[in-house]
Amino acid sequence: MQRLIAAWKQLQKAPLHQQLRMLRWNAPLVVLALAAGHQLVVATIIRPAPSQWDWWLELLIYSVTGSIAVWIGMTIIASAVAQSAEAEDDLRVAYAELEASHEDLLALDRLGALVSQTGSEQTLLELAAQAPLQLTDAISSTMVTFDTEGERLKLDMAWGLSDTYLHALQTRIDDGVISSRCQSCSALHAHVDGDCPLFDGLQPLAKAEGIGSLVCLPINNEQERIGILTAYFPSIDGPPENQMRLLNILGGVIASSLDSIRIRSRQVDTLHALDRVAQTNDALDDLAGKVLDIAVSGWDAQGAALVLTEDDEWLWRAHRGMLDDPADARYALATQFIREAMNQGAPVIKSHIAAAKHGFRSAAATPLMTEDHSLGALFLGAERNEGFHDRHRELLVTMAHQVALAIRNAQLYDELRQMAVIKERLRLSREFHDGLAQTLGFLGLQVERVESLLAENQIERAETELSTMRQTIQSAYTDVREAIDGLRFTTRHPEHLADHLADYVDDFALQTGIDARFIAVPDDLTVATTTSVQLFRIAQEALTNTRKHAQAKQVEVRLQATTEEIELTIADDGVGFPQITQTQRKFRSHGLNSMRERAESLGGVLTIATSPDQGVRITALVPLS
């Protein structure tokens, strides 16, 4: 009996077609059992009865047994059909839910595609603010971010809120909504009458807007919470579970895209900053330090090193966040990366580094190349995974190219400085030879002449010669002082041309007694070092000529700059260029030629205007660049 009951229960659980098949195979047994029962009833009930009752009894028995059989069969079929209909209804509901989920996912996918394609933070914030209204039953939304110090909220974007509510919310934020609660808040859902800081003091306005609750989606990067996307719902219970899942996915997509945009923005700013540094004339060590500071800031790195090669040796020009010591774990890792990058001639990038003593979880090194010539390598390390990724390869190559150009530029400037030093030494030796050496020789002859005059007791003539010697010594002293001032100029911020000329002209007036004035437009003019040095030398040479030959009472030095040119003018009221001896012409023409060569070396011209007793005006006009 128990087996029959178990078989019957198993039959009920089977699909309709299987039930019918099982009943079909069991039908002969059922019919046989019914036939046997029929014969038993006939033999025991009908035949013993009177004959007039036979027909009625058979009709009754057949009707009852047939009805029971039909009723049982129809009951089984009806039950099976009901189960089938219920399953079909469940399937329709599931299909509708699946279709709705599919539509939601398609909408989320389309939004994700738009988000991933945008390169503007403002556009991303607009998409983020609209997304809850497109994906859920939200009636409005806001996007708030934290300021750089993380102390205040900043309302970046709002969607669907009235001007009244928006003004009140902005006022509340401006009054100083303390962001510490939002920074650490873990409750994503808040009732309008709750203590959420975004509802604080705004409950009546929120209810008037039809807002019953809000859902906050934290926007996090790998290190901190950088913003909150808030969706406002009419229901006090918030969105249903499926919409909550969509919002959580949306928060992750927005966070990832916002972080990527900010990283790209920093990296592009890094390239621009490196380009500006490459155009400076900084010394190599100063440049290396600036390059590392820019790279560390742009890539949010916690360690960096710049290594240059010189005579097949590595020179650590600058480093940040590590020691220049082989025993340092970060030094060892940087050395390994740099060696691989220089051997491969391409960037070496590792997005995931196992935890170790050095603390870096991702790192990159890239060779510094110019025209197939290796200058060294740059290493960057971050204390987070995927701080450097293979997708950054092209950007690293571009950055390395700019760094290499900047370094090569600095090396060339160092070479130019060395050449300038050599030229200055040659200039000084020539001036000392042509000036001081001849003066000392002349003084030696004068001393002998004075001794001879004293021996002959010609005191008055000896005094005259001594007076001449005194003037010669004073002139020689002035020449030496000018040479020393010139040396000081090249070592003390030579780009500040106006300041140096002002000091020099004041000193010139003090030493010579000539009324000397200096005018600069603008008065704080600064120019490139090379231009400044050459213009200063021109002014120095012109004033020397004024002191020695012009017999001037006044001299004016004017420095004026336009957007394209710099004009230096030295004008005196002396005797001009009168008839002079061949020797005087030789020395004077040498000075004028020197000034002209200096102006032409800058791509400019030198103009000299003079006539007897009309003074001299020397003008140097050179490009500002």
- Give the HSE-up count for residue 467: Cα atoms under 13 Å, Cβ half-sphere: 6
* Whole-number Cα distances in Å, 127 to 90, 122, 170, 211: 37, 9, 20, 21
pLDDT band at 587 (very low <50, low <70, confident <90, very high): very low
Domain ranges of the chain: 2-96, 118-266, 281-414, 492-625
Topology annotation, domain 118-266: Beta-Lactamase (3.30.450)
Residue 538 pLDDT more than 80?
yes
pLDDT band at 137 (very low <50, low <70, confident <90, very high): confident
Respond yes or no on whether the N-terminal peptide bond of residue 522 is cis (omega within 30° of 0). yes
pLDDT score, position 256: 73
- Cα distance between residue 145 and residue 225, in whole Å: 9
Pair of tokens at residue 65: 């047994």
pLDDT score, position 430: 64
Q: Confirm whether 281-414 and 492-625 share one CATH topology.
A: no
Q: pLDDT, tens digit, for every residue of 320-347?
A: 988 888 888 899 999 999 999 988 889 9
pTM reported for the whole predicted model: 0.47
Residue 618 pLDDT more than 90?
yes
pLDDT score, position 391: 79
Relative orientation angle of helices 121-135 and 241-278, to the nearest 10 degrees: 170
Q: pLDDT, tens digit, for every residue of 347-363?
A: 999 999 888 888 899 99
pLDDT score, position 13: 67
Q: Which of 361, 367, 313, 363 shows the shortest CA–CA distance to 338? A: 367
- Structural domain 281-414, CATH architecture: 2-Layer Sandwich (3.30)
| Mean pLDDT over the full length of the chain | 77
One-letter amino acid at 594 equals S
- Structural domain 492-625, CATH architecture: 2-Layer Sandwich (3.30)
- Cα distance between residue 177 and residue 195, in whole Å: 13
* Whole-number Cα distances in Å, 401 to 130, 274, 276, 316, 390: 41, 10, 14, 19, 18
Mean pLDDT of 257-278: 71
